[in-house]
A = this chain, B = another copy of it.
Amino acid sequence: MPHFIIEYSANLEDRLDIDALCEATRQAALDTGIFEIGGIRVRAYKSENYAIADVDPRNAFVHLMLRVGIGRDEATRKAAGDNIFAALSDFCAPLLEEPYFGLSFEICQIDPVTSWKKNSMHARLRGTE
C-alpha cells in the first residue's frame, strides 16, 4: 500500500503518455508526504472495449482508484486526494478542454484485519538493507 490503479480507454493511447501518467501519479503521491516510497505501486490498465456516454468515438475516460490502509483520518485523505486530483487534472488538461472526456478519482480504505503484505523494497529504500 498505497495502491494506485489507473484505468483508461484505448482511444487515449496516442494522446496520453501512460508511463508519464503513472509517474505523475507517483510523484503526486510522494508530494503528499503521507506515503512511504517503498509502498507506492501505480499501475495502469487499458480497456480495449468500452461504451462511454453517447458513444461518440471521441469519448474517453481516465479513472484512478487509490486503495490505502485504514489509519489516516478523513481530512488527511481528503487533502491528499485534492492534491493528487489536481496533478491528474493538470496532466489531462488538454483532454478536459474538449467535450469528450471524463476524469475521476476515488479513494477506498483497506481493512487491516483482512489484508496482508510482504515488501522487500522497504529495507532497501529505508537504507537499512
Contact = CB atoms under 8 A, between A and B. Distances in A.
Interface of A: 1, 3, 5-7, 9, 18-19, 21-23, 25-26, 37-55, 59, 61, 63, 67, 74, 77-78, 81-82, 85, 89, 95-108, 110-111, 113-121, 123-125, 129
Given A41-B50, A106-B110, 13 more contacts: A9-B43, A22-B50, A22-B51, A37-B54, A41-B53, A45-B45, A78-B114, A99-B129, A100-B121, A101-B119, A103-B117, A105-B117, A106-B115
> Chain A: interface secondary structure?
mixed
Contacts of A55: 23, 26
Nearest 6 CB-CB pairings of A with B = A43-B47, A99-B124, A22-B51, A107-B114, A26-B51, A85-B116
Given A51-B23, A51-B25, A116 B102 contact: no
B102 A89 contact: no
Chain multiplicity (copies): 3
A81 B110 CA distance: 14
